[in-house]
Structure 1
Amino acid sequence: MIYVIDGSLESLLCAVFEWFERKPGKISLQLEKHHQPDAFSTEFYVHNDNKKADRVWTGLKKKLNAGWMRRFYCTFLSESTQAYNSLFEFSCYIFSNPAGAEANYGNVHVLTVAQTAKKVEREKHRMEAFIRFQLSADGIFYCGVDPDFNVLPLIMNHFKNRYADQHWIIYDLKRHYGLYYNLEQVEEVSLNTEEEKNLNRPTAELQDGKERLYATLWKDYFKSTNIAARKSTKLHVQHVPKRYWKYLTEKTGT
């Protein structure tokens, strides 16, 4: 039996509800965009229902503490089909056992949720550390990113609190949506293809004149404070993996 979901958190929670309602035995989840029907499998298309999803979410909150609820959400943000299946099995396991079942790391699904959440949290912290804004000619600070996981919901409060007096946009070029802060609240935004290209490769016309000067000064400062004799590329890459260098002003052109 295959449960087909659209990939939203609501659809995942509804799949849990439907399983307890129907008790079909062993099932697996597949995302609708990846699913290909075949003659040997039985499919059940899960329809989203706010009431069903809310019942499952409320039930999980009664069984799990805030830390585990965050792990659940972080694992969902990993966006992998394997993670969705682990969350489904984890939820069924939690509901089918007494309180404290989440402490059983001998259960493969408990372990997978914990490990996946840790990876997502690591990506969140790296985004918070390595994102560098550029100032556009219209006075908005912006940055285009392509994180491994969908971490924008997790980094929103960090940047809202840290840059509360500035208009800014953080745009996920891989998932084609971003966050825009207007000095009052953070809004979700989407750009067209041409706007995304401009965000990813800002031209001199789009940048504020001072931004280019600041970038040059920062690079010069970085070079002047770097002690060549103490340079350890291996250690440096461990702390700042190369895939994040594109966000760092001092690494431009490296």
Structure 2
Amino acid sequence: MEKAKTLMYEGGFNGFLTVIFKSFKENLNVSDIQKQRDIQKGLFSETETVQLQSDKAKRVWDGIQKKDRTALKTIYFAYLSEKTGIEFLLYQYIHHMFFGEAKISSEAIKDVFLKLHQYAGMVAREKHRIEAIATFKDSQDQIHYTAVTPYHDVLPLLSRYYRSKFPGKEFLIYDNKRKYALFYNLLTISHISMEIPTDFFKTQSSSKPLKPLITKTVPYPFSRRANFKNSNQKAAV
């Protein structure tokens, strides 16, 4: 049997889906899947880094949708929980979806699914909590903005709600813990990986412009947008 491998990726949902594609295509003996920043080598595991390939990630996502559309939301929400070991749990679940009991029994997969369902529920509740407590200010350049510190990585799930709440308004939501922001400019939703000074959010008036701080924006990949609109689930973002 091939020696077990720990597969590493750069982080991000598309990176994770790329790992799934590679592991299935090459029939790898996977012992764990970890983000590069969190890597902890197993005693008997080799490690291999998998580079993001959006086309491969999309093939996995589309394949899951064909197998079980209702699983899309559970998989994505559970991933955003950031729970330790979440990638390997999702790998087991998706592998069972495609290959049955080849690596994990139907009985064992029930425990995996219960955990994923629990984690997805936690993320859904955190999404609603942030929507309820977030308070916005207006910057000098008329951008609604706020900073939040969610327990889970829920920013990718907030766009749809705030586009409806603030029609015709640009807005920015900053995650204090993860140091990135969700920015909507009326045309696109962008992911901003940067650190915004904390004193900016302490300003009581619109005395400061926000756009000069937005120096580098990255549009959300397909899997961070409204992927559930064609399924039985409502669009989440």
TM-score, normalised with respect to structure 2:
0.73
Of residues 38, 63, 69, the one that matches 1:34 is 38
Query: 3, 6, 13: which is aligned to 2:10?
Result: 6
> Would the alpha carbon gap of residues 205 and 141 (structure 1) be closer, same or farther in structure 2, given more than 3 Å must change?
closer
Conservation of the 8 A alpha-carbon contact between 2:23 and 2:30: no
8 Å contact kept, 1:5–1:32: yes
Greater relative contact order, per chain length (Cα 8 Å cut-off, separation 6+) = 2
Q: Deviations over 1:132-190 (max 9, x none)?
A: 11234443322111111111111111111111133332111222222233344443335
Of 97, 101, 108, which residue of structure 1 is paired with 2:111?
108
Higher helix share: 1
For 1:62, the equivalent position in structure 2 comes to 66
Look up the match of 1:248: none
8 A Cα contact 2:79 2:86, kept in partner:
yes
Partner SS for 2:112: helix
Aligned residues: 201
The one-letter amino acid paired with 2:27 is K
- Structure 2 residue aligned with 1:197: 198
- Length-normalised TM-score, structure 1: 0.68
Report the equivalent of 1:243.
none
2:178 corresponds to 1:175: yes
Aligned to 2:143: 140
2:49 matched residue in structure 1: 45
Residue identity in the other structure for 1:62? K
Q: Are the counterparts in 2 of residues 179 and 189 from structure 1 also a CA contact under 8 Å?
A: yes
| TM superposition shift of 1:201 | 2.1
Structure 2 unaligned segments of length 5 or more: list them: 209-237
Q: 1:115 to 1:201 in 2, by over 3 A?
A: same
Task: Give secondary structure in 2 for the equivalent of 1:18.
Answer: helix
User: How far does residue 93 in structure 1 lie from its aligned partner after superposition?
Assistant: 0.9
Q: Which of residues 139, 146, 149 in structure 1 aligns to 2:152?
A: 149
Give the residue type in structure 1 aligned to 2:63. G
CA deviation digits over 1:84-123, x for unaligned, max 9? 111111110111139xxxx989612211211111100000
Q: Residues 55 and 202 (structure 1 numbering): CA distance in 2 closer, same or farther, change over 3 Å?
A: same
RMSD: 2.8
With over 3 angstroms needed to count, the CA separation of the structure-2 counterparts of 1:107 and 1:182, relative to structure 1, is same
**8 Å Cα contact 1:143-1:199 kept in structure 2:** no
2:16 is the alignment partner of 1:16 = no
Amino acid corresponding to residue 11 of structure 1 in structure 2: G
CA 1:26–1:152 in structure 2 vs 1: closer, same or farther (change >3 Å)?
closer
Distance in 2, matches of 1:24 and 1:182, equals 42
Q: CA deviation at 1:24?
A: 3.6
* CA–CA separation in structure 2 for the residues paired with 1:186 and 1:22: 35
Residue 88 of structure 1, aligned match among 77, 86, 91: 91
Answer with 1 or 2: which has the greater Rg: 1
**Distance in 2 separating the partners of 1:78 and 1:41:** 26
Which structure 1 residue ranges, 5 or more long, are not aligned?
Answer: 208-254
Distance 1:22 1:186 in 2: 35
Residues 18 and 106 of structure 1: is their aligned pair in 2 closer, same or farther, counting only changes over 3 Å? Answer: closer
Distance 1:144 1:159 in 2: 14
| CA separation of 1:54 and 1:166: change in aligned 2, threshold 3 A | closer
Aligned partners of 1:12 and 1:88 also within 8 Å: no
AA aligned to 2:133 is F
In structure 2, distance between residues paired with 1:12 and 1:21: 14
CA distance in 1, matches of 2:109, 2:45: 30
Alpha-carbon spacing, 1:138–1:46, altered in 2? closer, same or farther (3 Å): closer
